[in-house]
Structure 1
Amino acid sequence: MMKLLFKTWLSKMIVLATALLAVQTVTAAEGPYELTQRAADKLFADLKSNNAAIKSNPNMLKNIVRNDLMPYVHVNYAGSLVLGQYFRSTTPQQRETFFAAFDKFIEQAYAQALTMYNGQDVQVQKAQLNGDSQASVKVKLIQAQPLNLTFQWRKNSKTGQWQVYDMTAEGVSMVETKKQEWSNILRKEGIDALTAQVQKAAAVPVTFSKK
């Protein structure tokens, strides 16, 4: 029962994350609040204009996530946080392979979660800055029981672009959740085994649940 509730909660987090992080055009001058505030419009427009095609081919949601979201997610940074203490014991090639699998895993997870979206409204609050390169944006998903989330943004030191690397729902971090979930396999079997598991999860087709 608890596992089912957690999966439902995580799906809701991912739905809102996808809705809020999709952007059409990003410039380094734009801040986390501006990106978050206007992000939903692009994704909602794509979902609406492709609704019929998505119904017949749910995997099309992967394309939408790939085009609208993934270029603006700091996959490698998030992945390094997930690896935690095991990061230093991996080779550059192992990390590169893991990050590529993690990238596809996020794409699949967000696309699958989008099948649950049913038009909820979103409220976005002003960004809270933490120095020059860190910020958080609080958002609320309006529904019978409102869901409060916080998106963690980091300015890429190479590009100057703000990118999301984590989000929390009611105080629970998504990065920390995956870190804890995957630490056992990292400890016992190593990164290659985890990468294979992540690749398998990423390859799962997107489907609509049968009501």
Structure 2
Amino acid sequence: MSPNRATAHHWSLLLTLLIWTLPLAADPGLTPPQQVIERVSDGLRRVLREDRDRLASDPQYVYRLVDELLVPNIDVARLSALALGPVWREATPAQREAFAEELKRTLIRTYATAVDALGEWQIQYLPTPFEPDQERAVVRTRIRRPGGEPISVDYRMARRGERWLAYDVAIEGVSLLVNYRSTFVRLAREKGVDGLIEELARHNAERAEP
């Protein structure tokens, strides 16, 4: 079992945009949520450029890189709860923990497999109203590719203490969270929460990192 092809494609595209986004100009006036997106994209891009040979010779390095640099900036707990929708309330604490872990593995695997398709991008941060006491924010961007049409990418983020974490991204208005929810809720209704977790675990194991 896997999220539908559109969802997988969008998550792969998200990784591409996060890693290879190149700010049009350094802007000290970026809001805290915007700074998170900029910092992650710059950090991943720098490591990938410096370690291209290692990426080619050590496939596991890609998984570790994504796990260490990208995943900490995703609110996996919030994403897990929202992705299960009403089923989350029915799940036991153990089921919630197991689902969140398999969802994280899904994200790592999907992101890592997109590395080979990376290219050069430019990112433009669009003006977005922001107040210091906000608990949620949307970072609106426009991605420009050489020879391609601009792509609208919006990151939905939430404050966790002093940090801002992403929990959804909409590419050209298509929410990845909504796509996940439609798939996971349907499978949970068909097979139960344990069945959904088993399907995710099996799918992740079949495509486990080398």
* TM-score range for the pair, normalised by the shorter chain length: 0.7 to 0.9
2:18–2:40 Cα contact (<8 Å) kept: no
Offset at residue 66 of structure 1 (A): 1.0
Q: Secondary structure at the match of 2:118?
A: coil
Tell me, in whole angstroms, the C-alpha distance in 2 between the residues paired with 1:11 and 1:146.
17
Shift, 1:109, TM fit: 1.1
Partner of 1:91: 92
Match of 1:161 in 2: 163
- Residue 195 of structure 2 is aligned to residue 193 of structure 1: yes
The Cα offsets for residues 27-55 of structure 1, whole Å up to 9 and x where unpaired, read as xxx81012222332111111011101111
* Aligned residue identity for 1:145: E
Larger displacement relative to structure 2 (4-13 or 186-195):
4-13
Q: Give per-residue Cα distances to partners, 1:37-87, cap 9 Å, x unaligned.
A: 233211111101110111123332111111111112110100100000111
* 1:2-81 aligned within 5 A: 7-19=8-20, 31-81=32-82
* Counterpart check, 1:172 vs 2:161: no
Kindly tell me: are residues 68 and 6 of structure 1, through their superposed partners in 2, closer, same or farther at Cα, counting changes over 3 Å? closer
SS at match of 1:88: helix
For 1:85 and 1:38, the matched residues in 2 are separated by 34
Q: Do the aligned partners of residues 70 and 5 (structure 1) sit closer, same or farther apart at CA in structure 2, a change above 3 Å counting?
A: closer
Alignment TM-score, normalising by the size of structure 2: 0.82
User: C-alpha distance in 1, partners of 2:130/2:189?
Assistant: 35
Give the letter for the 1:185 counterpart: L
Shift of 1:119: 2.0
Answer yes or no: is the 8 Å Cα contact 1:128–1:136 preserved in 2: no
Q: Which of these residues, 148, 154, 163, is aligned with residue 150 of structure 1?
A: 154
Change (3 A) 1:6 1:79: closer
Contact 2:8 2:110 in 1 (8 A): no
The RMSD of aligned alpha carbons is 2.3
1:135 matched to which residue of 2? 137
User: How many Å apart are 1:193 and its aligned residue?
Assistant: 1.3
Gaps of 5+ in 1: 21-29
Question: Which residue identity is paired with 1:134?
Answer: R
Query: In 2, Cα distance between the equivalents of 1:125 and 1:201?
Result: 37
Q: How many Å separate the matches in 2 of 1:127 and 1:105?
A: 31
TM-score, length of structure 1 as denominator length: 0.82
* Inter-partner Cα distance in structure 1 for 2:60 and 2:14: 20
1:194 and 1:19 map into 2 onto residues whose CA distance is 33
Distance 1:76 1:83 in 2: 11
Runs (5+) with no aligned partner, structure 2: 22-30
**Greater RCO (Cα-Cα under 8 Å, separation 6 or more):** 2
